[in-house]
Structures are given as structure tokens and as C-alpha cells.
Amino acid sequence: MPDREKLQQQADIVREQLEKHPELPLEKREALEKLAAKLEFQLELEPATQSPSISDDVTRAAAEFDAEHPVIAGVLRNIVNTLGSIGI
């Protein structure tokens, strides 16, 4: 599977996790929604115009979710790996 397709699939998984975890505090839910939207926006850009800060944002989010929501943190770490493999 090409990396960009894999990244889209992982962004979809983030959205699914939001649906599966309605108990997430509003602040964390909004942060994940913004992150998913940012990922989807990045997918529309050409690789040369993509911002490397998205990797930092996803890494920070993974650290925030690590203790209470390890599944979400794992998905976010997979996204960081995929971003790295496509040069972001």
C-alpha cells in the first residue's frame, strides 16, 4: 500500500477512535479532530509543500494519549512513522 494511502487509512482510524470513545474530554476530542483535519489537508498537498511540523504535532498528541488511551497513542505513532517514510 502506498504511504499516502496508508496515511489516509490512519487518519480514518483516528476518526473511528473518536467515535468509539465518546468519553474523551472535550479538549482532547477537539485536539484529535483538528489533528485529523490537518492530516487530511496534508494529504492534499504535494510532498514538497508539506509542513514538517505535522510530525511534531502528532508526536505530542501521542504522548498526551499514551497513559489513558494507548490505542489512540499507537495509531498516532503509526502516523508519525508513515509521515517519516514519505519525507514529512
What average pLDDT does this structure show over 64-84?
89
Cα 36 to Cα 58: distance, rounded to the nearest angstrom:
9
Domain residues for the domain of 18 are 3-85
Q: Give the pLDDT band (50/70/90) at residue 49.
A: low
pTM of the model: 0.75
Determine the Cα–Cα distance for residues 61 and 70; give it in Å rounded to an integer. 11
Q: Which residues, at least 6 apart from 29, have a Cβ–Cβ distance to it below 8 Å? A: 18
**The one-letter amino acid at 27:** E
d(CA 69, CA 88): 25
Domain count for the chain: 1
Closest C-alpha to 71, from 17, 23, 16, 29: 17
